[in-house]
C-alpha cells in the first residue's frame, strides 16, 4: 500500500489540480451554463491548457522564464481577469454542489486507483518512456521555450510537445520531482478520461437535471471510454493463433475450459498486420506519456464544446475563439487531432443548420441557399484563421515530418509516375483490412450504431428526435470516416512495412473515443424505450467481452498486482543500473541549466540515453530512428553516430577535442553501457582534458576544460 510520503505526494498533486480548477470554474460555469454540472471538471482542463499556453507564448517571447514564479504569475493573471469578468455571472443558487462534490471525489479516487496500479510497475522504462520523460525533464531545464531536443542539441524539440510542457508545468507547480509526477500524470490522465466522460455522459442523456438514468449512463459512458477494450478478447476462448498471421476466431478450436488460453493483451492493438489500433485503456496500462494520451483531456473538452454549440441557436465570437485556441492546443499536443476535430466541427455545423431549417423536399426551393452556405462556412473560416494565429508560436519552430499522402493499391500507370503534388503512388503498397478484422475491432460499436439508426428510423414523430440524437449521429459520422480512411490512404513517414500504421493509429484512436461516447448514450437511449431481448441480450454479452480487457492487461503488465514498488519511476535503476542511479541523482542535484553531456549512443527502444532521459541534459545523439523520423532524413542524425564513437574510442586527443567543441560538450559520462557500446573506450584522454567531478565504483563523470 501507499507509504505516508506517497499519500502526501498524491495529496499535494491533487491540491494543485483542485486550485487550478477553482480558479477557472467561474469561466467554465459561464461557458457550460446549460450543463447539469456546469462543466465543473472541465475547468481543470481549461486551466491546464490556458496557463500552459500563455506560459509557452511568454517563454518564446522571452518575457517570462520557465519556472515556479512565472507559472504563479500567469495563474494570478488569470485569477484577476476571471474575477473581474465573471464574478457577477456566477449564480451560487444554480451551482449543483452535491454533483460537483461527487465528480471531485471520483476524480481524486481515479488518481489514487491508477497510482496504486502503477505502483506495481512504476518504471519509466520500456517502449517510448525515455523519450517522454526526457522531454519533460528537458523542458524543466529550459529557461525559454522551445526546449532543446535532449537527443539532438542545439536544435529544439521537433515534436508535438505541449502535453510534456503541461506535465513539466504541473511538476514545477507541485514542487514534486519528475520521477514521481510522471506516474501521477498518467494516473491523472486516466482519472480525467473517466470523470470527463462521466460528465459528457450525464449531459448527453439529460442536460436539464441529473436523473437516475443519466447517472447510470454517465458511469457506463465513462467505463466504455476509459476501461473498455474491443472484441478481440473473444480469442481468449479459443486456441491461440500466430500473431503474425491472424485468422477469424471461428477458424480456431473453441477451448472455453482453458480460458484465457494464453491471451496476450497487446494483440488487440496489433491485430491487423503492420498496423496500430490502440485505445485509451491500453495507453494507461503501458503508460507512455505520449501526445495522443495527454490530448484525451482536450479531445473530451472539444467534444463538450461542440455539444454546447449544437444546443445553442447561435455561436458567439468568444466561443469560436475558445474553440480555435483549443484546436491549437490539440495541434501542439497531438497534431492530427486538430484536423480531426475541425472536421467534426464542420460536420456538426452542417447537421445543425440542416436540422434547424427542417430540410425536406417540399421546402427546399424556399430555402435561401446562400444563407445556408454562409451559416455553415463562416464559422469554419473564422475558426481556421484563429487556429492558425494561435498555433503560430509552436509552428515557428516545428517542421512537419510527413512527406506526402500515399494512395493504397494505386494502379500501375500511377506507380510509374510516383508522385503528383502531395499524392504518392508507391508500388507494392496495398495493405487492406479484411471485413472480419474490422468486425473484431469495431463490431461492438456498430451493433449499437445500427441499432440506433433503426431506432431513429422507427420514430414516427420526428419531433421526438432530439438534438442529442443528432449530435450522436455527428460523432458516429466522423468515427466511421476515420475507420474507412486508412483503407484508402496513408500519410507517408519513414517506416517501410508499417507505412499505414501511424495513420491508422492516430485516426482510429479517436474513433474509439467517439464510438465509446456514442455507445454509452445509445445503450441508455434504447434501453429506456424497449425491453426487446434481441437488443438487451447481445448488449450484455458484448459489454462482458470488452470489459474483461482491463483484467487481462492490468494482470499481465502489473504482475497480478502482487509486487508493490511505489510510485517512484526511477526505482528500477537501483537494481538494473545502480551506479547510474547514483549518478543521475547527483546530476539532478548538482548540474544546473542544460550543458551537453556526452553518453553512449544507442538504438531506439533500448536503455541507451538513460542519462539524458532521466536528467533532461542534452547529449550529442539519442535514439537514432526517432531522430530520423523527427528530422525527416537519416542523413541528418547519421554522422553523429561515428562522432560519438570517436569521442569515446579515438586515441587522437585533438580529434576528440574538436568533436567536443563542435557540440559544445561540457561533460563526458563513462559508465557500464559506455564500456559495453564502445569496447575500445580510451578513457585516459578524458583525464587530460577534464577532471572527475563524480565517481561511483567504475562510473565517472568528467567535466571538460576545453
Pull the grid cell for residue 94.
444554480
Q: Give helix 435-458 / helix 533-547 axis angle, nearest 10°.
A: 140
- The answer to whether the CB of 152 falls within 8 A of the CB of 172 is no
Cβ neighbours, 10 Å, residue 679: 8
What percent of the chain has a predicted confidence (pLDDT) above 70? 97
**Which cell numbers hold the place of 237?**
476462448
User: What does each C-alpha distance from 188 to 14, 42, 106, 285, 650 come to in angstroms?
Assistant: 9, 13, 11, 13, 48
Asked if residues 492 and 499 have their Cβ atoms less than 8 Å apart, the reply is yes
Are the C-beta atoms of 380 and 318 separated by less than 8 Å? no
Of 223 and 361, the structure prediction assigns the larger pLDDT to 223
Q: Residues with Cβ < 8 Å from 35, sequence gap 6 or more?
A: 199, 203, 207, 304, 308
Q: Which band of pLDDT confidence, cut at 50, 70 and 90, is reported for residue 359?
A: very low
What is the reported pTM?
Answer: 0.96
Q: Is the peptide bond before 260 cis (omega within 30 degrees of 0)?
A: yes
CA distance 151 to 204: 45
What residue ranges in 479-527 does DSSP mark as E strands?
489-491
**Alpha-carbon distance 557 to 121, whole Å?**
8
Rounded distance, CA 450 to CA 91, Å?
42
* Residues whose CB falls within 8 Å of the CB of residue 402, separated by 6 or more in sequence, listed in order: 491, 492, 493
Question: How confident is the model over 413-437, as pLDDT tens digits?
Answer: 999 999 999 999 999 999 999 999 9
Instruction: Assess whether pLDDT exceeds 80 at residue 358.
Output: no
Contact 299, 279 (CB under 8 A): no
Structure-block grid coordinates of residue 160? 508535438
Looking at residue 357, its pLDDT comes to 61
Which among 192, 428, 398, 216 is positioned nearest to 297, based on CA atoms? 192
Output the pLDDT for position 367: 56
Residue 672 pLDDT greater than 60, yes or no: yes
Return the DSSP state at 666.
E
pLDDT tens-digit series, residues 518-543: 999 999 999 999 888 999 999 999 99
What is the number of other CB atoms lying within 10 angstroms of the CB of residue 239? Answer: 14
Q: Is the predicted pLDDT of residue 362 greater than 50, yes or no?
A: no
Residue with cell 485556441: 325
- Cβ–Cβ < 8 Å for 218, 206: no
> Which of 196-219 are b and which e, b meaning 16 or more Cβ less than 10 Å from the residue's Cβ?
bbbbbbbbbbbbeebeeebbbbbb
Q: What does the pLDDT look like over 496-524, one tens digit per residue?
A: 899 999 999 999 999 999 999 999 999 99
Starting at the earlier edge strand, list the strands of the sheet with 699-704.
596-598, 665-670, 699-704, 690-696
Residue 360 has pLDDT above 50, yes or no: no
Amino acid at each position: 500500500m501507499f507509504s505516508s510520503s506517497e499519500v502526501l505526494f498524491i495529496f499535494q498533486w491533487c491540491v494543485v489540480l483542485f486550485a487550478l480548477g477553482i480558479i477557472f470554474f467561474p469561466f467554465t460555469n459561464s461557458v457550460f451554463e446549460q450543463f447539469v454540472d456546469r462543466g465543473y471538471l472541465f475547468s481543470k482542463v481549461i486551466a491546464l491548457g490556458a496557463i500552459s499556453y500563455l506560459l509557452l507564448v511568454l517563454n518564446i517571447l522571452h518575457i517570462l522564464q520557465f519556472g515556479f514564479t512565472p507559472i504563479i504569475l500567469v495563474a494570478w493573471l488569470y485569477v484577476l481577469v476571471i474575477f473581474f469578468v465573471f464574478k457577477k455571472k456566477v449564480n451560487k443558487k444554480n451551482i449543483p454542489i452535491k454533483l460537483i462534490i461527487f465528480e471531485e471525489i471520483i476524480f481524486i479516487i481515479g488518481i489514487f486507483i491508477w497510482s496504486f496500479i502503477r505502483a506495481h510497475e512504476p518504471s519509466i522504462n520500456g517502449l517510448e518512456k525515455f523519450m517522454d520523460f526526457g522531454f519533460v525533464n528537458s523542458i524543466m531545464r529550459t529557461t525559454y521555450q522551445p526546449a532543446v531536443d535532449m537527443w539532438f542539441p542545439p536544435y529544439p524539440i521537433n515534436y508535438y510537445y505541449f502535453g510534456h510542457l503541461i506535465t513539466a508545468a504541473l511538476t514545477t507547480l507541485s514542487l514534486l520531482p519528475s520521477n514521481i509526477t510522471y506516474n501521477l500524470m498518467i494516473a491523472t490522465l486516466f482519472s480525467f478520461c473517466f470523470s470527463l466522460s462521466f460528465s459528457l455522459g450525464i449531459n448527453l442523456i439529460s442536460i436539464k437535471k441529473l436523473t437516475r438514468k443519466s447517472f447510470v449512463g454517465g458511469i457506463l459512458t465513462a467505463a466504455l471510454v476509459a476501461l473498455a477494450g474491443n472484441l478481440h478478447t473473444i480469442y481468449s476462448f479459443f486456441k491461440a493463433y500466430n500473431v503474425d498471421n491472424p485468422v477469424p476466431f471461428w477458424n480456431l478450436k473453441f477451448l472455453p475450459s482453458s480460458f484465457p488460453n494464453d491471451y496476450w493483451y497487446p494483440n488487440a492493438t496489433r491485430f491487423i498486420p503492420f498496423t496500430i489500433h490502440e485505445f485509451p485503456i491500453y495507453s494507461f496500462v503501458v503508460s507512455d506519456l505520449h501526445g495522443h494520451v495527454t490530448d484525451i483531456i482536450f479531445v473530451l473538452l472539444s467534444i463538450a464544446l461542440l455539444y454546447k454549440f449544437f444546443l445553442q441557436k447561435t455561436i458567439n465570437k468568444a466561443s469560436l475563439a475558445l474553440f480555435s485556441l483549443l484546436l491549437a492546443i490539440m495541434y501542439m499536443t497531438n497534431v492530427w487531432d486538430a484536423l480531426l476535430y475541425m472536421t467534426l466541427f464542420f460536420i456538426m455545423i452542417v447537421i445543425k443548420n440542416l436540422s434547424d431549417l427542417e430540410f425536406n423536399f417540399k421546402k427546399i426551393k424556399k430555402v435561401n441557399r446562400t444563407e445556408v452556405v454562409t451559416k455553415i462556412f463562416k464559422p469554419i473560416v473564422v475558426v481556421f484563421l484563429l487556429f492558425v494565429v494561435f498555433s503560430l508560436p509552436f509552428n515557428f519552430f516545428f517542421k512537419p515530418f510527413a512527406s506526402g499522402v500515399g494512395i493504397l493499391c494505386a494502379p500501375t500507370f500511377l506507380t510509374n509516375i510516383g508522385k503528383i503534388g502531395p499524392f504518392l503512388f508507391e508500388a507494392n503498397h496495398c495493405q487492406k483490412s479484411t471485413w472480419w478484422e474490422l468486425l473484431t475491432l469495431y463490431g461492438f460499436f456498430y451493433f449499437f450504431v445500427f441499432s440506433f439508426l433503426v431506432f431513429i428510423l422507427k420514430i414516427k414523430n420526428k419531433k421526438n428526435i432530439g438534438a442529442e440524437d443528432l449530435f450522436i449521429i455527428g460523432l458516429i459520422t466522423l468515427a466511421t470516416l476515420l475507420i474507412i480512411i486508412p483503407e484508402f490512404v496513408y500519410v507517408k513517414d519513414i517506416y517501410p512495412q508499417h507505412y499505414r500504421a501511424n495513420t491508422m493509429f492516430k485516426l482510429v484512436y479517436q474513433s474509439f473515443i467517439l464510438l465509446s461516447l456514442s455507445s454509452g448514450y445509445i445503450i441508455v437511449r434504447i434501453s429506456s424505450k424497449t425491453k426487446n431481448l434481441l437488443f438487451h441480450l447481445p448488449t450484455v454479452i458484448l459489454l462482458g467481452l470488452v470489459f474483461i480487457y482491463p483484467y487481462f492487461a492490468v494482470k499481465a503488465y502489473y504482475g497480478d498486482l502482487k509486487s508493490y514498488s511505489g510510485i517512484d519511476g526511477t526505482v528500477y535503476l537501483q537494481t538494473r543500473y545502480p551506479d547510474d542511479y547514483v549518478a543521475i541523482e547527483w546530476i539532478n542535484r548538482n548540474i544546473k541549466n542544460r550543458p551537453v553531456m556526452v553518453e553512449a549512443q544507442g538504438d531506439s527502444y533500448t536503455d541507451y540515453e538513460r542519462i539524458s532521459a532521466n536528467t533532461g541534459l542534452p547529449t550529442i545523439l539519442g535514439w537514432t530512428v526517432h531522430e530520423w523520423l523527427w528530422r525527416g532524413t537519416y542523413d541528418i542524425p547519421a554522422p553523429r553516430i561515428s562522432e560519438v564513437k570517436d569521442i569515446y574510442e579515438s586515441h587522437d586527443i585533438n580529434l576528440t577535442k574538436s568533436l567536443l567543441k563542435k557540440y559544445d560538450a561540457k561533460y563526458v559520462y563513462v559508465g557500464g553501457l559506455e564500456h559495453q557500446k564502445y569496447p575500445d573506450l580510451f578513457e585516459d584522454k578524458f583525464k587530460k582534458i577534464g577532471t572527475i567531478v563524480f565517481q561511483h565504483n567504475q562510473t565517472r563523470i568528467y567535466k571538460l576544460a576545453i
